[in-house]
Structure 1
Amino acid sequence: MLSMLRNATSSLVAKILLALLVVSFAIWGVSGSLLYGNTATVVTVGETRVAPIEFRLAYDRQYNLIQRQLNTRLTREQAESFGLTANVIQQLVSGAVLDEAAREMQLGVSDARLANIIGDDEAFRDATGRFSRAQLRSALRSIGMSEAQYVDTRKAVAIRNQIVSAVSAESALPDAFYDMLGAFRGEERKFDYAVIKAEDIGEIAEPDDAALSAYYEEHKGDYVAPEYRKLAIVKLEAADIANEGAVTDEEIAEEYEATKDRFSQPEKRTIQQLVFASEEKAREAADKLAGGMSFADLVAAEGKTLDGISLGTLAQKEIPDPALGEAAFAANLNEPTVPVKGLFGQAILNVSEILAGSTLPLADVSDQIRKQLALAKASDELYETHDRLEDERAAGEDLTAAANAVGLNARVIDWIDRTARDKDGKIISDIPQSREVLAEAFEIDPGFETNAINIGTNGFVWVDLLEIEPERQKSREEVADQLRADWIAAETASKLDALTETFRQRVADGEDFNAVIADLLPAPQPTPAAEASAAPAGDTATSGEDGGSPETVNADPAAEAAPESPAMPAAPAPRVVQQTPAINRTAQQADLPPALIASGFAQPKGSVVSGAGVAPQSRVVLRIAEVLPTAAAIPDPEREQADQQAAEELVGQFITRLRQDEKVEVNQQLIRQILAQ
């Protein structure tokens, strides 16, 4: 949250809000008892009270923050799934606890000190760097706060911050911590390892009926068909009710004329600008041009190049200097202008290329405009259609009939589970607001009418539950293929685990790594040698008479009659222990998953660990071969961030301790009333 607030400080208003929020660690809000009078209290801590309006402001601030983070609009129900209300209450309680502690300690701030705090705020400085009361008042008007309210609020924040500053003053982490962190990050290790694969355990025998039956009974929960529901869904967006036939040609022509710029490409010109230090220099240059000198020669005489003085190819409105724009677009091609007074002095312009503007004719864009106008009209009628459909439902029609009555169609989804999958396990991905629709559909009974669910800010979707197929246990016969595959996978995993543990234990007991590999893991199978390497010696013709494959011709007739020698197997390299280079904790290795590397860094040199490999159905036995202590430097920005986190953690613990000594009352009933408004 703090990082988001820091990124939002580009405007003056944002800086004021930042001053009010971040100075007090942003999370505790502004004292509501200072800003607003109240007769009811949301939070009470001792004699400190938080008013309803402060809860409302804090809630809305957090609600909008979540929407910005997710880049989407949220319903209140969705926001509550993030624990919004509970979070806001905790923030306000924390702030009230600090305010009560400040009251009990009789802390204060002098008017002079408060004036300095406000005067030092860069948000209220003018162009000369001095404090500007007009700037302050203008900014406060933008956020609906009076000057007196701001002063009182800033005073409360300053008092609260005295406690925060005192608690966090000596919270910087010691050098010893950063030394240990650097050693932890910089340490490197070398590992010996072997990968054990499924083929290393040999063939898995086919399971008999008894084995499958026992496995099925033991894992029945894996073979349950989920609950399925049959739904009717009605979607209402502008496109669903748009009537292009209702858009007249006159409306299209009128829209075309009103928005012709959308269909136009303005004229563009490639402009060269030769700037002079004075009006006199510019006149002298103009005289040279009038005397016959070319613009290119003039540019060269001024010690410049045509490319160096080019402004690019621009439309007139893209030229920031109006005077230059008018002159450039009044000039003829390759005819330099008279001197023009621009923002940067006197200049002579030359237009080296003109790209004519163009406008698409009405006939080319009429269909596009028709569709846009139809959608615009439909958007205006959206809520009317929504209300008409709801009226039909209120009159007793089911969702499908109500939709048909207002010109919409209901889509029936035969069977779907909570995860949006059909009975074949395929995801039904084209349901609008799928998460909300399914959550609603699986909470209701048939015949129960639900409210419309918003689609963004300009649409609705309704769901009607038609039928329920309850969850059920699948029979052995239904899952025969899956059952067999699962049994084989489980048996493979069991044998792999047993082989891996035997391997690990023998290496841990001191046996030679390669000797254990040779004893427990099968040698690589030989591969057939290339056919050419196994063929008898002889002369080879270029090709057969038919242009086919090469033929081997022996000069010795006896050799021709001899039987062909069998292909000799290529000798495979033996399996041996593999070794990593020196790596740190975050290194990536093709055969070693991160979890196993982490395990290797958690044990002393010589230890042997094992775990799942990267490839499916594989295991790895890993020995820590060498430990190389190396310290990594912790950069200053990271130190500052860690110190800040430590300070905030310390303040949080302090507030927790204060809360244990205070009676905290939260008016939940009032909060519910506020949120219901």
Structure 2
Amino acid sequence: MLDRMRAATQGFIGRAIMTIVLGLIVVAFAVFGIGDVFRGFGSNKIASVGGAPIAPDDFRNAYQAIMQQYQRQAKTGLTNAQAHAMGLDVQTLGRLIADKALDVQAHSLGLAISDETIADAIRNDPRLKDASGAFSADRFEGVLRDAGLSERGFIAEQRNTDLRQQIGVSLVNGVTAPKALVEALARFDTQSRNVDYLTLPPAAAGDIAPPTPDALQSFFDARKESYRAPEYRAVNILAVTPTSLAKPGEVTDEDARALYDKVKDARFGAPEKRKLQQIVFPNEAEANEALAKIKAGTSFDDIAKARNLTDKDIDLGDVTRLGVFDKAIADAGFALAPDSVSDVVKGQFGPAIIRVTQITPANLKPYDEVAAQLKQEIAVERAANDALNVHDKIEDARVSGKSLGEAGKTVGVEERAIAAIDANGLDKNGVAVEGLDEKAALLHAIFASDVGVDDQPLATKDRGFVWFEVTKVEPPRARSLDEVKDQATKQWRDDQVAKALSAKSADMVQKLNAGATLASLAEAEKLETKSATDIHRRGGGGLDESVVAAIFNTSSAGAGSAATPAGRVVFKVTADSTPPIDPADPKVKALQSSVNEGLTDDLVSQYIAELQRQLGVVINDNALQAAEGS
């Protein structure tokens, strides 16, 4: 549309018309008032900390940066409304307030950093160095562009960052977690238990009579909220993707085979691997002398031993041709027959003799097995431009006033009408609606839109597009018992089974704690007993998380039970052990480091919170909303 407006203004008549249109817009602003549009920007600060302001531009830049970071990670677009719902604006403002509090404190403490120190830090920043390790002016300029800063602004921000870090370092310097705390956490993590157990299946609950009408009604009334119908939306969808437009039948075998030859080793099997050994000599004369001895009957191993080389010294590993750093060595090694020795090879580290001890042949799928897949890939790639052309035609049709379905027909694409779908992608029967491109992003967009809204199409991962239009919204509502009677009856029965199994398992646990054996209880119920060993709090023994949690909530020789999807598990702890804690153990050291980090983070957070309390924080809601664009 913008392109058409630009084209229309090229002639005299077009410019005259656009002048009239813009004049009408100006008059409209004069009549209805332009003040309200820009009033939010009248303030020169979003917030202040101890009187130090946070400017709207600072917030906008930081807010856009965090939104762009999220979009790169999620690989999807993000509107202001979505960012607000996620709390990104609150996070941004919170970080700016914390930084400003530290800036004010640094100033009050008289902290400073010289220009030379800042310049040295910039020169030594790994982000700003090229491949040789030298400072790169081009990279520095790229960082400035990405951050939207001038060189002076970047240096000022770097100075503030370094001063904040000085305060943080002074706070946490020397802070370490108490030894008793680390050892307690280590024992908690390394403690293990063994158990014997049995599983009570649903059948062990016995016969469950159908619910009476009153019982079912009471059960339903207590859980009415869980039976509410969610919001449903009727939506029309038009998808144009390279996958749907692809014509693999038009791809020739010649093109597909060319792609196969290019990617076969990486994608369709393992290349040949060889176990290689090499002996490197200080000069060619010694290498030739050693080769002559080998040809005369001396073994490769004897030559290595004579040079005081161990197996580790001569081993190149089980490698592919590309896995050998030295091309000359690779060429020689992969030209040898099994258990043979090469001639003298001029390697990068000196003349060498190579031996191959084992060959693992390549395992490659033949072209015929993957031809259809490759043709489809090539067709999809070629259809990417077609999808873009179709996109432009559909957009032109929509601009001209055609409906989404009519716009699709102009390019031979049928619109799909979905009568009802909820935010989880289910229809009214609870069945997932299949065949939706970019399903998660599409559902999010559908439920962020409304009837009559002209939404932009979503981009798909294969460079296609999905248009949608919401045609009906059914708000969430309470369902009657008659609507969900089958579902409620099943859940009532499941609840009764769970109660019966819980009572039965409680009785079994009581008997176990009184001295009965698990085997005797299992025999009476005609159930099988099992054992699980080396169970830790993080899992083990193939047991459900609920069972593991119950095992460690029981005394070291006690019994217990826990519900699982298969019924209810009854167990008896048969062993409990905690290995001694060795401070030199790498795991204990890692735990110490993790706890130290947690303590320092908490300390800094508390310090900043107290700073903000002492300095005072004032937030300008109107300026904040204006800066957000909300």
Q: TM-score range by the shorter chain?
A: 0.5 to 0.7
Q: Give 2:604's aligned residue.
A: 651
What displacement does 1:658 show? Answer: 0.8
Q: Structure 2: how far apart are the matches of 1:141 and 1:503?
A: 73
Pair 1:640-2:560 in alignment: no
Q: Give 1:18's aligned residue.
A: none
1:641/1:481 CA distance change after superposition, 3 Å: closer
Q: 2:563 aligns with which of 593, 613, 630?
A: 613
1:296/1:428 CA distance change after superposition, 3 Å: farther
1:320/1:127 CA distance change after superposition, 3 Å: closer
1:95/1:310 CA distance change after superposition, 3 Å: closer
Unaligned runs of 5+ in 2: 1-42, 266-270, 359-366
The question of whether the paired residues in 1 share the 8 Å contact of 2:343 and 2:353 is answered with yes
Deviates more, 1:53-62 or 1:457-466: 53-62
1:147/1:208 CA distance change after superposition, 3 Å: closer
Q: Structure 2: how far apart are the matches of 1:579 and 1:298?
A: 54
Q: Give 1:594's aligned residue.
A: 548
The question of whether the paired residues in 2 share the 8 Å contact of 1:140 and 1:146 is answered with no
What displacement does 1:153 show? Answer: 4.5
Name the larger-Rg structure: 1
Q: Structure 2: how far apart are the matches of 1:609 and 1:309?
A: 55
Sequence identity (%): 25
Q: Structure 2: how far apart are the matches of 1:372 and 1:232?
A: 29
Pair 1:143-2:97 in alignment: no
Q: Structure 2: how far apart are the matches of 1:157 and 1:118?
A: 12
Q: Give 1:534's aligned residue.
A: none
Letter in 1 for 2:422: D
Q: 1:489 aligns with which of 488, 491, 494?
A: 494
1:218/1:456 CA distance change after superposition, 3 Å: same
Q: Structure 2: how far apart are the matches of 1:198 and 1:244?
A: 52
Q: Give 1:163's aligned residue.
A: 167
Q: Structure 2: how far apart are the matches of 1:183 and 1:284?
A: 62
Q: Give 1:75's aligned residue.
A: 78
1:671/1:409 CA distance change after superposition, 3 Å: farther
1:662/1:388 CA distance change after superposition, 3 Å: farther
The question of whether the paired residues in 1 share the 8 Å contact of 2:257 and 2:371 is answered with no
Map 1:276-675 onto structure 2 (within 5 A): 276-281=281-286, 341-346=346-351, 375-442=380-447, 446-456=451-461, 458-467=463-472, 479-495=484-500, 512=514, 514=516, 524=524, 593-600=547-554, 612-614=562-564, 616-618=566-568, 632=581, 635-665=588-618
Q: Give 2:34's aligned residue.
A: none
What displacement does 1:82 show? Answer: 3.9
Secondary structure (helix, strand or coil) at the match of 1:173 reads coil
What displacement does 1:87 show? Answer: 1.4
Secondary structure (helix, strand or coil) at the match of 1:646 reads helix
**TM-score, normalised via structure 2 length:** 0.65
The question of whether the paired residues in 2 share the 8 Å contact of 1:269 and 1:314 is answered with yes
Deviations 1:53-101 (A, max 9, x none): 654664455446545665x445346655543232122112211110111
The question of whether the paired residues in 1 share the 8 Å contact of 2:123 and 2:135 is answered with no
Map 1:96-135 onto structure 2 (within 5 A): 96-109=100-113, 135=135
The question of whether the paired residues in 1 share the 8 Å contact of 2:547 and 2:569 is answered with no
Q: Structure 1: how far apart are the matches of 2:77 and 2:398?
A: 26
Letter in 2 for 1:641: S
The question of whether the paired residues in 2 share the 8 Å contact of 1:239 and 1:378 is answered with yes
Deviations 1:157-191 (A, max 9, x none): 33323321222235322334335445655778899
Letter in 2 for 1:237: T
Q: Structure 1: how far apart are the matches of 2:200 and 2:173?
A: 55
Letter in 1 for 2:468: V
When you count helix as a share of all residues, which structure comes out higher?
A: 2
Q: Structure 1: how far apart are the matches of 2:428 and 2:511?
A: 49
Q: Structure 2: how far apart are the matches of 1:394 and 1:350?
A: 72
Q: Structure 1: how far apart are the matches of 2:533 and 2:263?
A: 62
What displacement does 1:284 show? Answer: 6.3
Deviates more, 1:103-112 or 1:441-450: 441-450
What displacement does 1:421 show? Answer: 2.2
Letter in 2 for 1:387: D
Q: Structure 1: how far apart are the matches of 2:450 and 2:131?
A: 66
Secondary structure (helix, strand or coil) at the match of 1:420 reads coil
What displacement does 1:431 show? Answer: 1.2
Q: Structure 1: how far apart are the matches of 2:273 and 2:550?
A: 64
1:676/1:217 CA distance change after superposition, 3 Å: closer
1:676/1:235 CA distance change after superposition, 3 Å: farther
Q: Structure 2: how far apart are the matches of 1:195 and 1:327?
A: 62
Deviations 1:450-505 (A, max 9, x none): 3212223722212233456676666666655444433433344455556677888x
Secondary structure (helix, strand or coil) at the match of 1:465 reads strand
Secondary structure (helix, strand or coil) at the match of 2:112 reads coil
The question of whether the paired residues in 2 share the 8 Å contact of 1:186 and 1:584 is answered with yes
The question of whether the paired residues in 1 share the 8 Å contact of 2:47 and 2:620 is answered with yes
Q: Structure 2: how far apart are the matches of 1:212 and 1:127?
A: 73
What displacement does 1:621 show? Answer: 9.4
Q: Structure 2: how far apart are the matches of 1:193 and 1:341?
A: 66
Q: 2:181 aligns with which of 177, 180, 194?
A: 177
Q: Structure 1: how far apart are the matches of 2:49 and 2:594?
A: 32
Unaligned runs of 5+ in 1: 1-38, 354-361, 528-571
Secondary structure (helix, strand or coil) at the match of 1:135 reads coil
1:374/1:620 CA distance change after superposition, 3 Å: closer
Q: Structure 2: how far apart are the matches of 1:98 and 1:258?
A: 61
The question of whether the paired residues in 1 share the 8 Å contact of 2:198 and 2:522 is answered with no
Q: Give 1:11's aligned residue.
A: none
Deviations 1:250-270 (A, max 9, x none): xx98x79998963899x9999
Q: Structure 2: how far apart are the matches of 1:621 and 1:273?
A: 58
Q: Structure 1: how far apart are the matches of 2:318 and 2:571?
A: 64
1:658/1:346 CA distance change after superposition, 3 Å: same
The question of whether the paired residues in 1 share the 8 Å contact of 2:227 and 2:478 is answered with yes
Pair 1:262-2:258 in alignment: no
Aligned residue pairs, count: 562
What displacement does 1:639 show? Answer: 1.1
Q: Give 2:14's aligned residue.
A: none
What displacement does 1:103 show? Answer: 0.8
Secondary structure (helix, strand or coil) at the match of 1:600 reads coil
Pair 1:238-2:242 in alignment: yes
The question of whether the paired residues in 1 share the 8 Å contact of 2:71 and 2:77 is answered with yes
What displacement does 1:646 show? Answer: 0.6
Deviates more, 1:388-397 or 1:221-230: 221-230
Q: Structure 1: how far apart are the matches of 2:491 and 2:258?
A: 68
1:229/1:581 CA distance change after superposition, 3 Å: closer
Letter in 2 for 1:524: A
The question of whether the paired residues in 1 share the 8 Å contact of 2:63 and 2:89 is answered with yes
Tell me how large the CA RMSD over aligned residues is: 6.2
**TM-score, normalised via structure 1 length:** 0.62
Secondary structure (helix, strand or coil) at the match of 2:135 reads helix
Secondary structure (helix, strand or coil) at the match of 2:594 reads helix
Secondary structure (helix, strand or coil) at the match of 2:564 reads coil
Letter in 1 for 2:464: G
